Structure 1
Amino acid sequence: MTGSVQDRQAEAEKPYDVFHTDCPARNVIDHVTSRWGVWVLISLRGNDLRFYELRESIKGISEKMLAQTLRALVQDGLVWREVEPTTPPQVTYGLTEFGRDVGVPLTDLFDLVTQRLTPGATG
């Protein structure tokens, strides 16, 4: 039995294999790179925003999809959520340290693409 505990500890210290379907890191990567996840992280890179401010900043996202995306990113530890006990409740979102770290390459990618595009080349 002692060997199995050591095996589990050694297994826990191995790096994640994101190509394996059961890898927890794969879920986080899926959420970050989802259709809306990247936009939420980029929108929060400069400021903490309330739900409605996020919805207004990300054109085309529905309230349902924004809520689902935020729920996943909060669960992954990339975004924090604070509820102010007012009527109606005001909910503010911001990036955690992990979210800011993950956001750096996304911001670099976003900036590279927008700087390289010829104005008027795309809609």
Structure 2
Amino acid sequence: VLPKKIDSTPHASISMALLSDICNARKRYIRPTLMIGLTANLDELDQYKSEFSRNVTVVLDGSIYSNDWKNDILDSIRSLIGNQLKLIQREDDKFLITIHGIRTHGRWQQDLKSNLDK
């Protein structure tokens, strides 16, 4: 529930409207890769649960009575970072297979390897 209020009362519909705008492909926003919904307002979560779950990566109970949500957020961030590092590594891992002709010994391959290693 964002601090914007309707008739002096914070209301979940404001949060849902913002979330909907961020996730709408026709809007100007770029949707983040990882979106974590954190709420302690579990009473209204039931009312908006399907929309909330459809638009965020994970929904967490941000209750003041537990700190479990902090570890869940860290786990989600670590997972995202790990995935991004794998994508970067995959782009860096390139290989080249050279095949010399049947009437040569492929001496040019060693020169090619030396130049590629540089």
TM range (shorter): under 0.3
> TM-score scaled by structure 1?
0.25
TM score, norm. by length of structure 2: 0.26
Q: Answer with 1 or 2: which has the greater Rg.
A: 2
